[in-house]
Amino acid sequence: MKVAVIADDPLTADGTVSYLNGFDQVRAYCGAEAAERCQVVVALGGDLSPELLTSLRAAATLARPRRLPALLVVNQIELAQAEQAVHAGVVTVLWRQETSLEQVYEAVLRIQRPNSVQGNLIAQIRGIESRNRELALLRSGALSEREIQLLQLLSEGTPTTVVARVLGYSERSVKGFISDLKARLGLRGRVHAVAYAARHDLLARYRDLNCPPEEAAQFAASRAVTSR
């Protein structure tokens, strides 16, 4: 499979091409001009900037009359840009902050599978908008409901893998949120997080978190281990 890689900086483009070329199934090339001989476009950027959008449109034009599916990996995108993205060939959007190159590779393979379900582009964009709003709240000093839940989970001694599933983030993102929260609130670790949550009346039993039963059991098990 041949892949054209577009990025808002040369280092990102070169790094992505180098990584993808490490797999036998993929041959990656830099630049929109490679789209004429490719089956997929991967576009990476901070946001869907006019420059990135122009490159996507150029790739789509070069591929005509074929429709060239594009994978967009960005930190920021607005719902108002959905129509522009679709017209430029975008079929899937990933949040760059929690997307590894391995996940980019896996997404490229999914795009080429005949029966693959790419998901709702509008829902993907709304998800990115929501997560960026939560990040903005975290950085502004206000605690969102999800951040309060994160503190509750930390106070229960919940493993990071379970926290990620409950909150709907990757483990890497959860670790980043914990680091940001600790830095902003001056927390030294999980024990200090328990004290902070108790002092601000944020503690809640795991049974109040509306989690699936198996995850509630994991919470209970983790508490038993940490209390020994």
State pLDDT tens for residues 203-214: 543 334 444 434
**Residue 172 domain boundaries:** 143-226
Domain co-membership, 75 together with 158: no
Q: What percent of the chain has pLDDT over 70?
A: 77
The pTM of the full predicted model, rounded to 2 decimals, is 0.63
Q: Locate tokens 């909150």: which residue?
A: 167
How many structural domains does the chain have? 2
Other Cβ atoms less than 10 A from the Cβ of 226: the count is 13
Domain co-membership, 121 together with 92: yes
DSSP string, 182-194: HHHHT--SHHHHH
Determine the residue type at 136. A
State pLDDT tens for residues 103-147: 999 999 988 765 554 568 888 898 888 877 766 655 555 666 777
Domain co-membership, 17 together with 94: yes
Domain co-membership, 83 together with 188: no
DSSP 8-state symbol, 42: E
Residue-level pLDDT at 36: 92
